[in-house]
Amino acid sequence: MKKILILHTGGTIAMQENEQGAVQPNLINPLYSTIESLSTLASVIVDDYLNIPSPHMTPSLMIDLAERLKERASSDQLDGIVVTHGTDTLEETAYLLDLLLDWDLPVVVTGAMRSSNELGADGPHNLISAVRVASSDSACGKGVLVVLNDEIHTAKNVTKTHSSNIATFQSPQYGPIGIVTKRGVFFHHTPSVRECYPVKKLSKKVALLKTYAGMDDTIIEAVANTDIDGLIIEAFGQGNVPPQVMEALTKLIERKIPVVLVSRCFSGVVQDTYAYEGGGRILKERGVIFTNGLNGQKARLKLMVVLEQTTDKYTLQEIFYK
Ligand SMILES: NC(=O)C[C@H](N)C(=O)O
């Protein structure tokens, strides 16, 4: 039988709805009865590591979590790990773990959209599915996975797409890489690229700004006047920004502060297609770094990680094309 660590961090999966219909954290984790029922599936050990709503999660807590997983993996001879997490920032924690954990051990992050005492609570089912995936030989070497609603997603591509529906986690453009059914765990795709960075701290400040029609440079100037080490811009479409922000972005690049471009579109990548003022081609010429389909919140974490290793713009560009 596989030895699986279930490490709790909190989130709705560990919460309860009160009589007024408000959802709140619980002192005792409501997943204990589900965990007892897992004894025929795996040999499970539990770590009640944190009990926080995921909007309280920070990059520094994520780094501590990665260290905790490394300690547990080496001291407990684990075959797999399941992390329970609130869904609001789940994709960020999962992606950061994916960038930091350089191993083939399955790590599966799961959560729930309905709290433990709500009708149709999805937490117990998601937890069982996550343990089944973490126990599967075919989950080895696929990076950090996100399992909810019977689907297996990569940490790199998954995102929360709906504020309340239980089918909220999707991988735009790529889809899930596997499914969980009553009969088994089935992978139908394998991720082609894995990247790992052996970083133990995150000391850089990276901001994320979204473009909008009529945006001017005031907000960029305001952010540039704080001590940022990098900026992610969620641009329009294929990677275009309003002309009014070009000067402020150029000034940042001249100060050697990397400006990284993602698209505010749900799918697709940014490219140096348009040569009008504010277009992707001009941004490229000014030294803006282009990404390869990451969303803004994940590009921010990736820049925080890689800035611990390099500030060289050519190396950063190579890393963001991966
Ligand atoms: N479904 C959830 O878990 C949402 C909750 N606000 C959290 O992220 O902690």
Which tens digits make up the pLDDT trace of 257-292?
A: 999 999 999 999 999 999 999 999 999 999 999 999
How far apart are alpha carbons 105 and 139 in whole angstroms?
8
Asked if residue 150 lies in contact with residue 168, where contact means CB atoms within 8 angstroms, the answer is no
Residue ranges per structural domain of the chain: 3-187, 206-321
93 is known to lie in a ligand binding site: no
Give 245 Cα–ligand 1 centroid separation in angstroms: 34
Q: Give catalytic status of residue 87 as yes or no.
A: yes
For 3-187, CATH gives 3.40.50.1170
How many angstroms separate the first and last alpha carbons of the chain? Answer: 37
Residues 210-237: what's their mean pLDDT? Answer: 97
Q: Give catalytic status of residue 190 as yes or no.
A: no
pLDDT at residue 221, as a whole number? 97
Please report the ipTM that was assigned to this predicted complex.
0.98
User: CA nearest 254: which of 277, 224, 276, 274?
Assistant: 224
Q: Is the CB of 86 under 6 A from ligand 1?
A: yes
How far apart are alpha carbons 180 and 129 in whole angstroms?
7
User: CA nearest 65: which of 42, 30, 90?
Assistant: 90
How far apart are alpha carbons 158 and 146 in whole angstroms?
7
User: HSE of 282 in the Cβ direction (CA atoms, 13 Å)?
Assistant: 15
Summarised one tens digit per residue, pLDDT across range 60-100 is 999 999 999 999 999 999 999 999 999 999 999 999 999 99
pTM for the model stands at: 0.97
Q: Is the CB of 88 under 6 A from ligand 1?
A: yes
Tally of helices (H runs) and strands (E runs) in the chain: 9, 16
Give 267 Cα–ligand 1 centroid separation in angstroms: 24
Give the fold, CATH level 3, of 206-321.
Answer: Rossmann fold (3.40.50)
- Parallel, antiparallel, or unpaired for β 259-263 and 206-210? unpaired
The residue contributing the CA closest to ligand 1 atom 3 is 86
